[in-house]
Copies of this chain bind each other. A is one copy, B any other.
């Protein structure tokens, strides 16, 4: 097709956006609403994943050593532990250090420990190991149990299980909701573009009978559909960014800061927004184009 025809088509597509304001508004708000919710769900899922990742790195395995383990044995164990797969951090804590830590932690109640000193310290020496992922816990525990000098290996099976469970449940329901919403957004967009085509079926009909080719008729609708999708994506992107940054502000100024919830740091706006807006643009324009193609096909039949 000639360049002037392309220009005409883009012009037609955008003009019809304005001429059919009512319908354009409906389409755009439908797309924006669907994508906005999709964005919120994605933001929540991404934050959950982030929190989970944080929690997962906190799983700690403690290896208590038998009393009077020789320091050369401890050296050897240190070397081996370093070589194990999936270890993210490890630390050796002598029984003296442990007693000191207890004293600090107990605070007001520390006088209960007053009877102990390095001579009669009842605590054992220990290794504290963090793994990269909960999956590594089993193998680390197994290997640790084989050391002759080990008295006991302790780790929180509870925490590991429930973390894995939160992670999979969140992803599972996040996916269900996102899929439902994408399907609904598709239905709405497809329908609104069908309506737009429907409202111009007379025009399409006339164009056909005075000799317009199928693609000549199709292109303005494709352009219109894509524009609708992209405008909707832009609006929902703005909305998502706005609500999310409001949330960030609110959280950072809230009294929770510095208490037990502060370990769950929300992701910054940037790292949330880019993938979400990218997805919005893809979904918006793809659905716009697909919907246009589907919608127009019926009315093109001779």
Contacts and interface: CB of A to CB of B under 8 A. Distances in A.
A23 B251 contact: no
Interface string A229-273: 000000000010001001100110011100111000000000000
Contacts of A23: 191, 195, 198
Copies of this protein in the complex? 2
B162 A259 contact: yes
Interface string A184-203: 11011001101100110000
B260 A158 contact: yes
Given A112-B122, A162-B256, A181-B33, A26 B176 contact: no
Nearest to A159: B260
Interface in A160-216: 161-162, 164-166, 169, 172-173, 176-177, 180-181, 184-185, 187-188, 191-192, 194-195, 198-199
Given A185-B33, A188-B33, A195-B195, A162 B26 contact: no
Please report whether the interface of chain A is mostly helix, strand, loop or mixed according to DSSP: helix
B169 A254 contact: yes
A129 interface: no
Q: Give the contact-size bracket for chain A.
A: 35 or more
Given A33-B181, A122-B112, A26 B260 contact: no
A247 B169 CA distance: 9
A162 B263 CA distance: 12
29 contacts: A22-B191, A23-B198, A25-B187, A26-B26, A26-B187, A29-B187, A29-B191, A30-B30, A33-B34, A36-B184, A37-B181, A108-B152, A115-B115, A158-B259, A161-B255, A161-B256, A161-B259, A162-B256, A162-B259, A162-B261, A165-B255, A165-B256, A166-B256, A166-B261, A169-B250, A169-B256, A173-B250, A180-B239, A195-B195
List 6 A-B pairs, minimum CB-CB distance, nearest first: A26-B191, A33-B184, A165-B256, A29-B187, A158-B259, A37-B37
Interface of A: 22-23, 25-26, 29-30, 32-34, 36-37, 40, 108, 111-112, 115, 122, 152, 158-159, 161-162, 164-166, 169, 172-173, 176-177, 180-181, 184-185, 187-188, 191-192, 194-195, 198-199, 239, 243, 246-247, 250-251, 254-256, 259-261
